Structure 1
Amino acid sequence: MTSPNLVTCGDNIKIWDSSGYSLLHQFQPNNTNDDVVTDVCWSRDGSMVASVVSRQAQLVVTGVSAHSTRQLTAATDLPKATCCRFCTSNSRYICVGSHSGGVDLWDNKNGKLAKQYQGHQAPVTRVCFSGSDRHVASASRAGHVLVHNVTSGVVTELPAARSEPQCARDLRYSTVRPAVLGAAFDTGHVSLWDVNQRRLLHTFTSGHVAPAAGLAFSPVNDILLASVGLDKRLVCYDPKTRNVIQRVVSDAPLTAVDFHADGVQLAVGTSQGRVCVYDLRAPGRPSRSFTAHRSSVQRVQFQPPAKVRGRGSSVQTAEDSKALPSGQNHSLPAAELMQNHVPRHGEAPRTHSTPVESAKPTAVAANDSGGPTMAMYGQVSAEQSSLFSPLRDESRHAAASPPAATVPNGVTLNGTVHGKTLASRPS
């Protein structure tokens, strides 16, 4: 199986071969110099990256091949962009957050704005599609987290994690439990919601003592969540038992994090422009560390696994060109976008509905982030810890689990951790 590439952004965008972390490509979106790329993301088929540049506040889409990169789109008619994310089932649509508080849906195939959603009164800091692409979640500088129905435009505000407003720095859907949404805040807290029930599941308050800058869900099971913060900590949680199960302290503030598709490796970015790769079976120190940018690392993201890319349809595929424009492909809600009214900028949003994310994604998004399988993420060996296995006997696990792990006191600034490691956890 081909090793997925890693994209990072800071003073520019760089793409790395994750098998040895050699540099494959580097480029400046829209030929901007002396600027910071604030966000970057892969398309589902791995053939494009979308990015947002700070000063221009503009969405730029770049094509990526084995030997070159080529700018495809610079969306000049969008409001000032702050963040972006491709949809999960194909490469046609990109959701874009704006300084005005709106969330825009960009049609990457036709090169035009498809829909606009309202609800935030502060700049949007992060956006993401649900695993089925039925909803777009967005978080703001004021700390509000909204879920927008892609087709109807109905907006649902999730319960606040805290009474006082705090900037939300990252926002992710779980790749294994499609109804679970997580956010990282300036307070250092990490919160989880069930979007189906509009319910706050839990807020981890003891993970960080400085702003939490990023979070990532394990792609292979539902018992591992990781976050990074400006306190130099990489923190691993078990969402089921609601415990912190490990802390690793780096030598610099941490700004971004993402899981490799094998569920074992984690890439983190630092404020000093370095990228560190951790193997969670031995997380005491990075297995790889290299200088990536002259500025702080704003985002790290691994390319979708090759098997997902093989099934996915890109902007140029026959399936997209036939099904999506006609609006007949009802298994992908984004295909119905142009048939339903969604509030434009300035209109009052529709509120107080309950978004429903099915545990069984639609046919187009089958085995995507709404419910990954071992066939998709077939890189976890049998001898690895059950912490990294998507297949567990829940009742046996509950009976065999030891008491909640306590955070060891022997954490040192050189990155060593004393006590039980992640890989030693029994199944």
Structure 2
Amino acid sequence: MKKEFTLAELVKEYGSKAQKQTLKKMGNLTGKEFTLLLKSAETDWESCEFEGRGSKRIITCSGKRSKKTERVDKRSNNGQGQLIGEFELNSLVVNYLIQNDNKVSPMSTNRWISQLGIVDKKLIGSLYGTRGIHLENLQEQFYKGIEDYTKDDSDIDMLDEFLKVFMKSLRSSIVSVFNKLAKANVIIHQKERWGCTTKNNYRKLKQNEIKEIASIRRALLNDYGLKGNDLFKSNKKEVKAFKVEFEKQLSKQLDLKFDYDAHFCVIQDSDLGVRDYLHRLREKGDLDFTFGLTEEFVFTMTQVYKDKYSEHSLELALGREKNTTNRFESDRIRSIKILKQYAPMWELLLKYFRCMSSMKSNPSAVKIEEATIVNIDGVEFEVSNGSAKMYLN
């Protein structure tokens, strides 16, 4: 037995309340919603196939079941381990590649994060420049915003802690997104080893250079009695000595200042063309993302991501504040935690470095009298004074 359904008919028969609302508003469903709709229909039918695109899809259901079954869900660890703001970050990477005609040179994770607008020049400048220039401004904000705060020269330790932890987590997130997009066949992702020369030229390293750098690292780890994972303990004196000597050896033996991972990404080529190919992948539902956003909505999505990520970062800071026994932390960090000033300082640092959205940290920058709802490909954005939210139906 076979039966043909229009999209509207299938939604009426098997759709959830949210899917019916989306169809009513948009006349269509997102790729993820359509996949879930087919799963619901398959509780009554042995197979469901479709032809066409968008609202004009015709779905042919075959093999009427004698008894309704439970909906099949092949996902494992459902909802677990998902990145904060994964949908937004997926979409921002895909849109960035489209906007640059799918021609983007290999970049470090820090540069990717900067190019996507997730962090700005103020924070990036602090990573590579003199951090002390920000200390006086930060201490003034600490004094105004934190009860019983006492200024201390070693407050620079808190600035170092913020930059190290915040950026390490962001770098991990962007690499995870590259890997997930590649696994879903949305992009091709290649990791390359690059270096910055003593003359500030950036180039891809040769295989023999990569091997020589690894040899230098192994020898120095042995000399200082360290293991690879010890290098994250930045306050340990042996680690500080290792880093100084490693830089000397890179310069002396290879004429390099430093080496780093560079990530090359390109949207997979297809006879369908980029946009049709992406539509097909999105309808498949293996990975949730959207594309074709205007510059305005790329900006809005970036602000949504920044707020989600910053809120999560602050939650983690509250958890770290309770741990006052880490022997590799400085005395100042430990003291700040004991005084319960660590998380308040973290929030002020998020604001200072504009890690929160411009609409949230500076409401006057966005002059919208009433909440505005906009919808792109079934993704709803609510933009109002002081906030930017996104809803998936």
Q: TM-score, normalised by structure 1?
A: 0.23
Which one has more relative contact order, counting CA pairs under 8 Å at least 6 apart? 2
Q: TM-score, normalised by structure 2?
A: 0.24
Higher helix share: 2
Of the two, which has the highest radius of gyration?
Answer: 2
